[in-house]
Amino acid sequence: MQRMSERVSEEHVLREWLEREADCGPADADLESAPTNAAATLDALLSAKPGAAAFVWRERPIRWYRLGLDRERFVDLRPVDGPDDLLWRAVSMDGTLFGVAERVHEDGFGPLESAGIDAGTIRTYRDNLAAGTRVDPLVVRTRRGATPWFVADGNHRATAAAMRILETGRYDLVPAYVAVTANPVRRPTVDRIRGLIQRLAGRTIGHRS
C-alpha cells in the first residue's frame, strides 16, 4: 500500500513543477514573468515542458494526490512517454528508472553520458540524499486502475534514489505527486455495451410486435 496519501490541488503541483524548471535556467520557465493563476501556470509549464506536461490538458479530468511510494511501486516507475523516454529506456536494464540505476551500478555513468543524459545532476541528487537531504516529490502519472506508473518530472531524482537503494540496501519512502487520469478505454467500452443492449432490446420488442 502507498502511504501518506492526501488530495492536493493541481495548481499547487504545477506551480512547484514550474519552479523546478525555472531553477534549471530555461528562459521560458521564468517565474518573474509568469502570471500566478492556474491557467497561466499551466501555459507556462507547457511552454517549458511540452512533452512531459501535455497529459495535464489532454487527459482530463485529473485527480492529484501526494503520497509516499512504497518500494514495489517505486522500482517499477517508468520514464514518461515522449522523445526523452527513448534516452532513458536505451540505458535501462528493464525499461524502468530503477533499471537505469542498475546500469550505472554495473557500468558507471558512461552509458548515460553517451546517451545524452545529465549524469552530473544525478550525482548531485545522490550526494544530497547521502547527506540526508530529501529530494523534491516526483510528478507521476497513471490512469485509474492501470500499471505501470510514469514519471513526468523527476527522472534524475528517481534514478538517484534508486542508486541509494543499491548502495545501502535500504529504501526510504520517495514522495510523489500522482496524477490519476480517467481510463480512455473504459467509457467507449461501456458505450458499446450499452448500445449493444439497446439494439438487442429493440430487436426483442420488434419480434414481440
The answer, yes or no, to whether residue 114 has pLDDT greater than 60, is: yes
Q: Count CB atoms within 10 A of the CB of residue 191.
A: 10
Task: Determine contact, residues 97/159, Cβ cutoff 8 Å.
Answer: yes
pLDDT band of residue 125 (cuts 50, 70, 90) is: very high
pTM of the model: 0.80
The answer, yes or no, to whether residue 172 has pLDDT greater than 60, is: yes
pLDDT (tens digit per residue) in 43-54: 999 999 988 899
Q: Which residues of 67-103 are buried (b: 16+ CB within 10 A; e: fewer)?
A: bbbeeebbbbbbbbebebbebbbebbeeebbbbbbbb
Task: Determine contact, residues 56/10, Cβ cutoff 8 Å.
Answer: yes
pLDDT at residue 1, as a whole number: 44
C-alpha radius of gyration, the chain, whole number: 21
Helices (runs of H) and strands (runs of E) counted in the chain: 10, 6
